[in-house]
């Protein structure tokens, strides 16, 4: 049975783009959203659009990026006309940079032995899970740089490791929160990513299609449990400087 639209976490910006309408009026509370796409497919931009729209609708959002620092995040959002400064100052948005390169991950300096236990520290960072929606961009970077997960991969036990993480996520969404993960599927083994695909309530692939000399982007909706209004199977979009995500017409050459 579909949720009423008012029960969804609206992505807002109805007068700016049609993304919220194309996705049925928002994302259902208590869900895990998996957004897959190869390098350059638009995962970060989509997570930025989600985070800004959710804040505009009055939801609290935690945004964790493995690639952007606070400064580069603000620059990127400004270039898309997603002006999040007030949301950050008002504490509607918490932005965290996961510096997976030198071990200063999430906050502070750690002892050498614990400095890169990324998943452990992620789950213990209580403040980041206080928000209505937690967005992790890109989640595969954390998996690939976590020594415990890497060790389990070497032992062909990555599926078990994934299930432990999923158990934690289920506890979070049981409180009515949403978790959005962006993943580059080319960087992970099927055994590692398969469990996340299986349990995702909303599973979206960002695709780049070559049409002549053009590259067209589209959102392929693989699964959307608890949708509001009808959600399309494919949604064409582009990214424009000064505008952000723009939903394109459905015509295909």
Give residue-wise pLDDT tens across range 39-85. 999 999 999 999 999 999 999 999 999 999 999 999 999 999 999 99
Average pLDDT over residues 4-25: 88
Burial of 66 (0-12, 13-18, 19+ CB in 10 A): buried
- Indicate if the pLDDT at residue 111 is higher than 60: no
Average pLDDT over residues 74-102: 92
Read off the pLDDT of residues 151-188 as tens digits, 9 standing for 90 and up. 888 898 988 889 999 999 999 999 999 999 999 999 99
pLDDT band for position 9 (50/70/90)? Answer: very high
pLDDT of res. 215: 85
Q: Which of 50-54, 114-118, 198-202 has the lowest mean pLDDT?
A: 114-118
Structure tokens at 167: 């158990």
- Indicate if the pLDDT at residue 115 is higher than 50: no
Long-range contacts of 229-237 (CB under 8 A, 24+ apart): 229/2, 229/5, 229/21, 229/24, 229/25, 230/24, 231/22, 231/23, 231/24, 232/22, 235/19, 235/22, 235/23, 237/19, 237/42
Q: Considering the domain 5-247 in this protein, what is its CATH number?
A: 3.40.50.300
pLDDT band for position 112 (50/70/90)? Answer: very low
pLDDT of res. 251: 47
Q: How far is CA 51 from CA 102, 119, 250, in A?
A: 27, 22, 25
Read off the pLDDT of residues 131-154 as tens digits, 9 standing for 90 and up. 999 999 999 999 999 998 988 888
pLDDT of res. 49: 97
Average pLDDT over residues 102-122: 60
Average pLDDT over residues 115-136: 90
Phi/psi region, residue 63 (left: phi>0; alpha: psi -120 to 50; beta: rest), is beta
pLDDT of res. 30: 97
Distance CA 1, CA 7 (A): 13
What b/e sequence results for 172-197 when a residue is b if at least 16 CB atoms lie within 10 Å of its CB, and e otherwise? bbeeebbbbbbbbbeebeeebbebbe
pLDDT of res. 101: 65
Q: For the chain, which residues make up each domain, given as ranges?
A: 5-247
pLDDT band for position 106 (50/70/90)? Answer: low
Higher pLDDT, 179 or 214: 179
For residue 119, give the nearest of 177, 164, 172 by alpha carbon: 164
pLDDT band for position 103 (50/70/90)? Answer: very low
Go through the chain and tell me how many residues it has. Answer: 253
């Amino acid at each position: 049975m579909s949720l009423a639209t008012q029960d969804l976490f609206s992505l807002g910006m109805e007068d700016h783009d049609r993304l919220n309408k194309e996705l049925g009026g928002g994302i259902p509370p208590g869900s895990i959203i998996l957004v897959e796409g190869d390098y350059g497919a638009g995962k970060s931009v989509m997570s930025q659009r989600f985070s800004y729209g959710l804040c505009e609708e009055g939801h609290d959002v935690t945004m964790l990026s493995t690639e952007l620092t606070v400064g580069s995040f603000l620059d990127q959002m400004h270039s898309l006309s997603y002006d999040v400064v007030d949301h950050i100052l008002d504490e509607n948005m918490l932005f965290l940079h996961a510096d997976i390169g030198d071990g200063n991950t999430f906050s502070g300096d750690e002892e050498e032995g614990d400095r890169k236990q990324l998943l452990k520290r992620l789950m213990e960072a209580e403040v980041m899970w206080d928000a209505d929606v937690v967005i992790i961009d890109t989640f595969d970077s954390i998996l690939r740089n976590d020594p415990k997960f890497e060790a389990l991969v070497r032992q062909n036990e990555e599926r078990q490791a994934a299930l432990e993480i999923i158990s934690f996520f289920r506890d979070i969404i049981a409180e009515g929160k949403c978790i959005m993960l962006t993943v580059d599927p080319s960087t992970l083994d099927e055994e590692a990513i398969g469990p996340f695909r299986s349990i995702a309530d909303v599973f979206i692939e960002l695709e780049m299609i070559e049409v002549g000399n053009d590259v067209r982007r589209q959102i392929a909706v693989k699964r959307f449990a608890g949708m509001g209004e009808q959600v399309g199977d494919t949604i064409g979009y582009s990214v424009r400087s000064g505008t952000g995500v723009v939903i394109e017409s459905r015509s295909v050459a």
